[in-house]
A and B are shown apart, each in its own frame.
Chain A
Amino acid sequence: MNRRAFLAGAAAATAAWPPRGAAQPKPSITYWNGLTGADGKVMDELIERFTRETGIRIEQQRLPWAELYPKLQVSVPAGEGPDLALIHTVEVPHFANDGVLETIDDATAAAKGFRGDDYLPATWQGGTFQGKRYSLPLDVPQHVLYLNVKVMKDAGLTGADGKPKVPASRDELVSMAKKMTKADSFGFAIGTSNPGRYTWGFHNLLWQNGANIYTADLKRAGVGDPAALEAAEFWAGLAGGLGIAPPANANCRDAFIANRLGMWIAGSWNFTGLREAKIDFTAAPVPKLFKQPVVWSMPHQYAFPKPKSVDRAKRDAAWTHIRWMTDHVAEWTLKAGQVSASRKAHTDPRITGDPVLKTLLGQAPNWQVGQPTPKWVAAENLTRPVIESVYTGQKPAKAAMEDLARQINALPD
């Protein structure tokens, strides 16, 4: 064979390689999230399906949220961050501020099919900080009121249809709870475990009363204001003066399952687990305990941690995953119990037919999210021990809130 023929042959062979029809080796991406509860298993199933359908492998790392965020903060600057992360909306401002996340420009998002109109406004807005977008919402974990049928029936609080009565006001809630509170049984609780330090529940109460961690201009702490104090006094009374709630470190979920808790405001992510435990319960909207029937919500957001250099293939794979999850979000809702941020799934009859999901969807007009300040998480860390000391009666509400306001105002920028 002469040289020209050889070269021609080689050229032809190169042009034909990779053989048409053979797949390019698909990239695998790393993905961090904090879904340590029952919804974590659902996420695993969906990811397996995703890999089967697209060939893209996903290496999941899961840590409790409280540990996930510092680890993210530490790994990303060191170039060891994941390709994709699922974070909470309130984390976006400070991660964005610290340069941990990449911006997502609207054109790219639109090109991939993500449009603001498809989403509930609070969730779409939550992904931005100072005018730039850093994340795309997936779903809306929120609070809901769980009612233990057995406990309420034993206390005579069920209607003729056998369904538990739903309290319509704070006073009604308290009087109902008192009927259910006995030696080792409690009428009411907010929070999954460690209700004493459950800041998300505390936020819910604050927001219902028109108060917030920061004042509206985000310049100083608002926890010392009268509306906040009112909420704090109620918090203090729960296990104290009113005596209707379990101790500060109780596991409310276990208490509910053991039929030792009657009314329970907690995250929507709990209800599939309750169904598995075969507890007889109903779900109702979070009652209006103060001025507005606000429902605490915390949309999950997909974000791209800033890598040292962008690997195009991995980035595209991550986008594919987000797209796929958004398209299949009805499955996520049905199995994990989290209502989707995208509106498309809301008309799915399987979802509207489920009483709990229907309740969750119905709360949409009342959703509120945390304030978009980079100091939100640090303020929350400070809030935890303070509200716990209020809950246990170590500190009177007023003094504690004033102290908290001082601490929050002292946070460095």
Chain B
Amino acid sequence: MRRSRVQTLVLTLALGALAVLWLAPIVWVMVTSLKVTADIVRLPPEWIPWPMTAEHYREVLFSSSRTARIGRAFANSLVIALGAVVIVVLTAAMAAYPLARMRFAGRDVVFTLVVGSLMIPNAVVLVPQYVLVQRLGWLSTYQGLIVPEAAMTFAFGVFLLRQFFLTMPGDLEEAARIDGANAWQIFTRIVLPLSQPVLAALAIFAFRSAWNDFLWPLIAVNKPEMFPLPVALALLRSAYSSESYGPIMAGAALSALPLLVVFIVANQRIVEGVRVSGLKG
């Protein structure tokens, strides 16, 4: 390549500077969350939180006076996201397998319906979904949040997994079938283990979607102790309150934590998932 070393260096430095600026908002959130209340509203803005304090974190996690109990909200989000992931991965895999591997009556209809539903914006089903969940008695419950979240990601999961199954060479399955294994055995003992990368990618995608969903929990939960994190955070900031930014930023920082961890640990998987979903889309 005729690109010179200097050019590459300059470019990298420029990108590095941009990256630092890019992270500035997040750094500001972290820094604010660690400042003493008296220092938060100070001009010129201070980027080093000194003296540092954990009082805001303590307050949002443990204090009962917190408007929506961030600590509890964090736990709620975890339960909801994990529950949704389990349901989506299981149901999508089980649905994608016959769609990819079997011939049966109505296959194309089912597939078209499911994939077509990708076009349905969540807002369109919001109100009737609310009525349905209310009639089931599931308002302000975990299942009332987990199941609809799973339903939101289901179609995408089917689409993704079917693509993957289609590209898998079928000889292992064929061999197993000749050996007398039934569909379920083939599915669980051969197909699923081979699909780990894409299952992981789907799991991460579903986790993020459920963790960050805002509108549905906002309306489907009437008990503040059942709010997941985004709703609890949003309600910390209210129109006429005298809320200090310290607890709000602490809550925001906490909400970023699990995904940051997942992201660091599973960086490759996420990229792979994005790649697969993006290019075949």
- Interfacial residues, chain A to chain B (CB-CB below 8 A): 36-38, 40-41, 43-44, 60-67, 71, 74-75, 78, 80, 184, 191-194, 197-198, 200, 253-254, 257-258, 260, 267, 269-270, 273, 276-278
Given contacts A61-B225, A62-B67, A80-B222, is CB(A36)–CB(B241) below 8 Å?
yes
A65 touches B238 (CB 8 A): yes
B222 touches A36 (CB 8 A): no
A36 touches B67 (CB 8 A): yes
A66 touches B38 (CB 8 A): no
A277 touches B37 (CB 8 A): yes
Most B C-beta atoms less than 10 A away, residue of A36, A200, A267, A269: A36
Complex Cα spacing A66 to B235, Å: 10
Interface assignment of B65: CB less than 8 Å from any CB of chain A: yes
A63 touches B239 (CB 8 A): no
**How close is B70's CB to chain A, nearest CB, in angstroms?**
12
**How close is B215's CB to chain A, nearest CB, in angstroms?**
13
Given contacts A63-B67, A63-B68, is CB(A75)–CB(B222) below 8 Å?
yes
Q: Report which of B42, B139, B225 forms a contact with A258, defined as CB distance below 8 A.
A: B42
Chain B residues closer than 8 Å to A66, beta-carbon distance: 238-239
Chain A residues closer than 8 Å to B238, beta-carbon distance: 36, 64-67
Residues B66-88 near A (CB distance < 8 A): 66-68
Interface assignment of B224: CB less than 8 Å from any CB of chain A: yes
B222 touches A74 (CB 8 A): yes
Complex Cα spacing A64 to B248, Å: 14
Closest B residue by C-beta to A200 = B240
Closest B residue by C-beta to A76 = B222
Residues B7-47 near A (CB distance < 8 A): 37-38, 41-43
B68 touches A41 (CB 8 A): no
Closest B residue by C-beta to A82 = B223
Chain B residues closer than 8 Å to A273, beta-carbon distance: 242, 244
A277 touches B241 (CB 8 A): no
Complex Cα spacing A192 to B237, Å: 12
Given contacts A192-B240, A254-B41, is CB(A80)–CB(B139) below 8 Å?
yes
Contact with A along B127-150 (1 / 0, CB 8 A): 000000010000110000000000
A62 touches B239 (CB 8 A): no
B242 touches A253 (CB 8 A): yes
Residues B242-271 near A (CB distance < 8 A): 242-245
- Interfacial residues, chain B to chain A (CB-CB below 8 A): 37-38, 41-43, 64-68, 134, 139-140, 222-225, 235-236, 238-245
Given contacts A192-B241, A273-B242, is CB(A44)–CB(B38) below 8 Å?
no
Interface SS majority for chain B: loop
Complex Cα spacing A376 to B226, Å: 30
Q: List 18 A-B contacts (CB under 8 A).
A: A36-B236, A36-B241, A44-B65, A62-B65, A63-B235, A64-B240, A64-B241, A65-B240, A66-B238, A67-B235, A75-B222, A191-B240, A192-B240, A254-B245, A258-B43, A260-B43, A273-B242, A277-B38
Q: Report which of B67, B134, B140 forms a contact with A40, defined as CB distance below 8 A.
A: B67
B224 touches A62 (CB 8 A): yes
Chain B residues closer than 8 Å to A75, beta-carbon distance: 222-223
A80 touches B240 (CB 8 A): no
Total A-B contacts with CB atoms under 8 angstroms apart = 82
Most B C-beta atoms less than 10 A away, residue of A41, A62, A260: A62
Complex Cα spacing A267 to B41, Å: 20
Given contacts A78-B139, A277-B38, is CB(A64)–CB(B242) below 8 Å?
no
Closest A residue by C-beta to B245 = A254
**How close is B5's CB to chain A, nearest CB, in angstroms?**
45
**How close is A276's CB to chain B, nearest CB, in angstroms?**
8
Chain B residues closer than 8 Å to A61, beta-carbon distance: 223-225
Chain B residues closer than 8 Å to A78, beta-carbon distance: 134, 139, 222
Complex Cα spacing A366 to B259, Å: 54
A37 touches B241 (CB 8 A): yes
Q: Report which of A38, A44, A71 forms a contact with B242, defined as CB distance below 8 A.
A: A38
Chain A residues closer than 8 Å to B66, beta-carbon distance: 62
Chain A residues closer than 8 Å to B241, beta-carbon distance: 36-37, 64, 192-193
Please provide the 8 A-B residue pairs with the shortest distance between their CB atoms, ordered closest to farther.
Answer: A64-B238, A37-B242, A36-B241, A44-B65, A254-B41, A75-B222, A61-B224, A37-B241
Complex Cα spacing A40 to B43, Å: 28
Complex Cα spacing A405 to B59, Å: 44
Closest A residue by C-beta to B140 = A80
A36 touches B139 (CB 8 A): no
Excluding A60-B64, A64-B67, A64-B241, 15 further A-B contacts by CB distance (< 8 Å) are: A36-B67, A36-B238, A36-B243, A37-B243, A61-B224, A63-B235, A64-B235, A64-B238, A65-B238, A78-B134, A80-B140, A192-B240, A200-B240, A270-B242, A277-B38
Closest B residue by C-beta to A259 = B43
Closest B residue by C-beta to A272 = B242
Given contacts A63-B235, A80-B223, is CB(A267)–CB(B65) below 8 Å?
no
Chain A residues closer than 8 Å to B64, beta-carbon distance: 44, 60
Q: Report which of A62, A80, A194, A260 forms a contact with B68, defined as CB distance below 8 A.
A: A62
Chain B residues closer than 8 Å to A254, beta-carbon distance: 41, 245
A63 touches B224 (CB 8 A): yes
Chain A residues closer than 8 Å to B236, beta-carbon distance: 36
**How close is A81's CB to chain B, nearest CB, in angstroms?**
9
**How close is A302's CB to chain B, nearest CB, in angstroms?**
19
**How close is B117's CB to chain A, nearest CB, in angstroms?**
28
**How close is A359's CB to chain B, nearest CB, in angstroms?**
18
Closest B residue by C-beta to A384 = B239
**How close is A283's CB to chain B, nearest CB, in angstroms?**
15
Closest B residue by C-beta to A38 = B242
Closest A residue by C-beta to B65 = A44
Chain B residues closer than 8 Å to A80, beta-carbon distance: 139-140, 222-223
Most A C-beta atoms less than 10 A away, residue of B66, B67, B139, B225: B67
Complex Cα spacing A78 to B222, Å: 11
Chain B residues closer than 8 Å to A270, beta-carbon distance: 242
Chain B residues closer than 8 Å to A40, beta-carbon distance: 65, 67
Chain A residues closer than 8 Å to B240, beta-carbon distance: 64-65, 191-193, 198, 200, 267
Chain A residues closer than 8 Å to B235, beta-carbon distance: 63-64, 67
Chain A residues closer than 8 Å to B139, beta-carbon distance: 78, 80
Chain A residues closer than 8 Å to B244, beta-carbon distance: 273
